[in-house]
Chains A and B, each alone.
Chain A
């Protein structure tokens, strides 16, 4: 097979590239230049490209750099900023996978005559009994990334490869060390890759949109505090709300950033619980689904049992067996089969009424 492997300059994609090459595939490494601005947190820095290129040289494969920074800005950065402005909590890694890795890069690979795109994600590709491909959790459950890959369809999976999905992180690092790859001991990337760790999210957003102070109110409308920027507030948050100390802990249960007078609504722990959740913009790996499933609502959150019912075009309602914590609007909700093995589909949490 001719495989194009996305190489971020990290250890996972380094080893993935090496494995594909060992298996005898014709492999070309690609580093995507996504973020044009400054960053100290992860992908796209010149030193990461250097690492990817050097690893490719060591393995003995070609390496190229593709500049997708315009598309990244359009599909990831700008929506990230817009979401914060609306009081929504976005997941930029998912949008990057959706629009860049498994759309833009896949399209480029296809155009250049490659059979598949590979990445160093911790996830596996299996098959249903009828032969249809399915996306499965990675062998290392602590590192599993199937959540951020849920948008890849069964057709897409036929042209996708996750060469390290069956390995634990320790095995990946051991393999890298055995090959003498310079990325063997490189720490995992964390945080949002386009936001500088030194300056932080508030600084990043403040450079792009006006940050507005908001009143913090109880459910009955009584003001109990104030926050300097409503754009920074997330559902479930309980610190930094400017509320007086003592008394029961108050949690953010709602954010109204849309109005001219933005408000943050707080309540007690019980107010955070809901019995159902609407999920929109659903994508299905194979086909639309209703019934019992497990829902995971953050990258490393525990999957919770739920009942899935269709409520419209690409929209479902999930009913929790027991009342469950509200999901921040904008977060991705990914459905797994009841054995917690494979991905059914996923979408984006809608704002739940108070």
Chain B
């Protein structure tokens, strides 16, 4: 089966060397790194080394790196942990992933508007923070994503940090960098924030492994209590293979980032150029401020579910908005915050590219998307004539 996988923002394939690096820590040396025998010490060494590799890729101290069970856990730890640790309110952008947005809203937090291109509205951020401060509210944490997972918009975190430090100097600043890892030099982000979340499977590592940077004296309350692993910041037996896998993948990603970005950017632009030739297809946000890996389009006369079904049948794998627990497409809070009109929102399509994407994938995707849109329109017209 020739399949065309254009859902890398959902997850991407694991690098073969990541799997190789992980394997011994499940198979031969499976010891618990918290133990006191030699096998345990070896496992501990692997974790320590993995932590150093991660720290070096991120430009932070090894002691600031916490291994977690995934991006969602990292985000939840940052938001809920901060609110629980110090009280006060949480603030985030309106287009955050639900892993940030839901805990913020759960704790009664507020959201900040975004521009029509999906970037946080800096003036609104300032206004929201000033209003909260003026009303005497303590701001526990501010969270602005580095890259949006649906449309790929990149935020200038240094600009965000400047406003937060000026208006709410006590607030901890968190960024969800899950979608940034493949495309953005992460040390340029970590230097501006107190907490940062990553998810290993988004950059060629294993699923179920997350990373969290906790620095600058931020002390979010841990979500998980127990054995006190990760310096008490995340209890639970350390996943040695996971840590090694995440470190290997991050190192590989960092060393190939420029080359992959350049290649993928050309593919992505080729894809968008071709798709926008189709009548009724619009680019949802300006390409200028997006990561190379995401192409987001909308159609005003077709529905995402129908288009995705057709593409699925043609073995072209894409997505629309995030899916809920039942697997149904949910209406996108991101597109709604961007002010995308209803009719366009219903016809959203996200094509996300990654390190394995080839020019053949782009050709096939263009061909099948064009064909599917044509077929859907044809059948709809025929039905209209019949009824």
Chain A residues in the interface with B (C-beta under 8 A): 31, 33, 44, 46, 49, 53, 64-67, 69-70, 107-108, 110-113
Contact = CB atoms under 8 A, between A and B. Distances in A.
A65 B328 contact: yes
Q: Which of B310, B327, B329 has the most CB atoms of chain A within a 10 A radius of its CB?
A: B327
A135 B312 CA distance: 34
Q: Which of A46, A110, A111, A112 has the most CB atoms of chain B within a 10 A radius of its CB?
A: A111
Contact of B379 (A33, A53, A70, A113): A113
Nearest to A31: B326
A146 B309 CA distance: 31
Contacts of B329: 65, 67
9 contacts: A46-B326, A49-B326, A64-B327, A65-B326, A65-B329, A66-B305, A67-B305, A70-B331, A111-B306
B309 A67 contact: no
Interface in B75-120: none
B379 A111 contact: yes
B168 to A, nearest CB: 35
Given A67-B330, A107-B383, A112 B325 contact: no
A112 B310 contact: yes
Interface string B306-333: 1001101000000000001111111100
Interface size class of B (residues with CB under 8 A): 10 to 19
B186 interface: no
Contact of B328 (A66, A111, A113): A66
B375 interface: yes
A225 to B, nearest CB: 45
The 10 A-B residue pairs whose C-beta atoms are closest, nearest first, are: A33-B328, A67-B328, A49-B326, A65-B327, A65-B328, A46-B325, A46-B326, A67-B329, A111-B379, A66-B305
A65 B324 CA distance: 10
Q: Which of B325, B326, B376, B379 has the most CB atoms of chain A within a 10 A radius of its CB?
A: B326
B380 interface: yes
Contacts of B305: 66-67, 108
Interface string B366-382: 00000000011001100
Contacts of B328: 33, 49, 65-67, 69
B86 to A, nearest CB: 33
A45 to B, nearest CB: 8
Q: Which of A31, A53, A110 has the most CB atoms of chain B within a 10 A radius of its CB?
A: A110
B102 to A, nearest CB: 16
Given A31-B326, A49-B326, A49-B327, A108 B383 contact: no
A112 B306 contact: yes
Given A64-B309, A66-B305, A67-B305, A110 B383 contact: yes
